[in-house]
Structure 1
């Protein structure tokens, strides 16, 4: 199962997708985790109010992000360290519509320049591969044998997401993300993020 990809997960301060307040990154090369990163994020001005409901979910408070880097700094790190030609340049997220929406909105709020990324969604892959009552990350990762340890911690969720992909690669014998998504009938997406 020598698949390569980068699993990501964001947490947000409020209902605005631009309000990214935490990022988890898990880089996988040839089926092995080679790097993990976690960072709190200071949300962009105008999107930086923390709603009580979001704080209840992830436990991140405004005081926690006071000295944290801004989204544009973290996104610059992603773009500098994951080149389009890298084998792990395919982004993977559970409910990728949300996480790619966060990237687009936060990047726009920071005045960043989008760049093309390929990405796949483990929620869609889980629906195609497993028979579950719920396809939420805790259930899907449990089915993959990579149960999420601390749900709504961005790194923990990224690790669980990576575990789903690795389980599906093992089950399918896929040697790349393109093979894996094709095996399960799920299209890989490409977008300017």
Structure 2
């Protein structure tokens, strides 16, 4: 799978505001193999730092958990050091792209220009499932269990799903996986 290179990314947020990032997960794929993964908690930008009970119920992250976590500026630097110029792949890319941009806007930072690709769009096109949420895609591909809404686990399973779909269909580059590469695929408004 020479040439299948990307970084899977997943964010969790403190509340419904897209800039309220509180966790990130990353999984780097080189030549169709996950070579490295990492995740960490993030202290949300101050103006959007209130935690919603709904969001806590989804991911289990509480204000006390992020009190000493790095802020967005440091986290963005770490994300970019990890991914470099790789394209990002996310399961529901419009959400994760909006979190990245929102956190940058809240922090007065320029958002990176890495392209985003959506694994939901890929699954819809190539798997023919009734439901394309990450647990359903993982199960259909025989990837085993994972902790959904844990940013690190979600990024790793997203990366594994894209690699599995690419192998299944003998599609060995992002350009053939997402023929409209150059523009980000859309898949809906919220998490999948």
TM-score by length of 1: 0.90
Give ranges in structure 2 of 5+ residues lacking alignment: 185-192
Tell me which residue corresponds to 1:69: 70
Query: Does the Cα contact within 8 Å between 2:26 and 2:38 map onto a contact in 1?
Result: yes
Using the alignment, how far apart are the partners of 1:188 and 1:120 within structure 2?
A: 9
Using the alignment, how far apart are the partners of 1:53 and 1:23 within structure 2?
A: 18
Task: Select 1:154's aligned residue among 151, 155, 167.
Answer: 151
Using the alignment, how far apart are the partners of 1:147 and 1:90 within structure 2?
A: 26
Tell me which residue corresponds to 1:136: 133
String of CA shifts for 1:70-123, please: whole Å, max 9, x gaps.
Answer: 112111122234332xxxx01000000000000000011011112311121000
- Shifted more, 106-115 versus 9-18: the winner is 106-115
Query: Does the Cα contact within 8 Å between 2:90 and 2:118 map onto a contact in 1?
Result: yes
| 1:32 is aligned to 2:33 | yes
Tell me which residue corresponds to 2:183: 189
Tell me which residue corresponds to 1:50: 51
Determine helix, strand or coil for the equivalent of 1:97.
Answer: helix
CA RMSD in angstroms, aligned pairs only: 1.6
String of CA shifts for 1:32-82, please: whole Å, max 9, x gaps.
Answer: 111111100000001000010110110000000011001121111222343
Q: May I ask how many residue pairs the two structures share in their alignment?
A: 184
| 1:93 is aligned to 2:93 | no
CA gap of 1:99–1:152, structure 2 versus 1, over 3 A, is same
Tell me which residue corresponds to 2:170: 173
| Cα offset, 1:155, TM superposition | 0.7
Question: Which residues of 2 match residues 72-83 of structure 1 at below 5 A?
Answer: 72-83=73-84
Tell me which residue corresponds to 2:24: 23
Using the alignment, how far apart are the partners of 1:11 and 1:101 within structure 2?
A: 12
Give ranges in structure 1 of 5+ residues lacking alignment: none
CA gap of 1:129–1:188, structure 2 versus 1, over 3 A, is farther
TM-score by length of 2: 0.90
